Amino acid sequence: IQLDRGFVLHRPVGHWQSTLAINGDVGLTSSRDVLASVGKEGLPSEIIVSLGYAGWDAGQLEEELAQNSWLTVPAKASILFELPPEERLPAAMQKLGVSFTQLSDVAGHA
């Protein structure tokens, strides 16, 4: 766990030191140069800044995914950047076709 580590989810993708393209128009950057660019014309016009980091041991995330411990949905920029924060999770759940009332705190296979 690293509480002092930050990430910036942004669009457009751009060309900063450590940008990972998530899809055609969204990037994830962990280098400070993206923050220095914020507000300059033509540079990331939409950003979500996140502080803190928790990692997994080798293979741990893959194992959790195989056990259905995570719900995954393809990234959709409109959910991230066009909705208020309180509407993002319900929109992603709707995209999955899952209702919160159908969820259990026990993971596994049916």
Which of 53, 70, 54 lies closest to 62, judged by CA? 70
Question: Domains along the chain?
Answer: 1-55 (3.30.70.1300), 60-102 (no CATH)
75 vs 52: CA distance, rounded Å: 21
Task: Tell me if 14 sits within 8 A of 27, measured CB to CB.
Answer: yes
Q: What's the pLDDT at 73?
A: 87
How far, in Å, are 40, 60, 106 from residue 68 at the CA level? 42, 13, 10
Q: Tokens for 50?
A: 């996140």
Question: What does pTM read for this prediction?
Answer: 0.72
Structure tokens at 108: 């596994």
What's the pLDDT score for residue 63? 93
For residue range 46-61, list pLDDT tens digits in order. Answer: 888 888 877 889 999 9
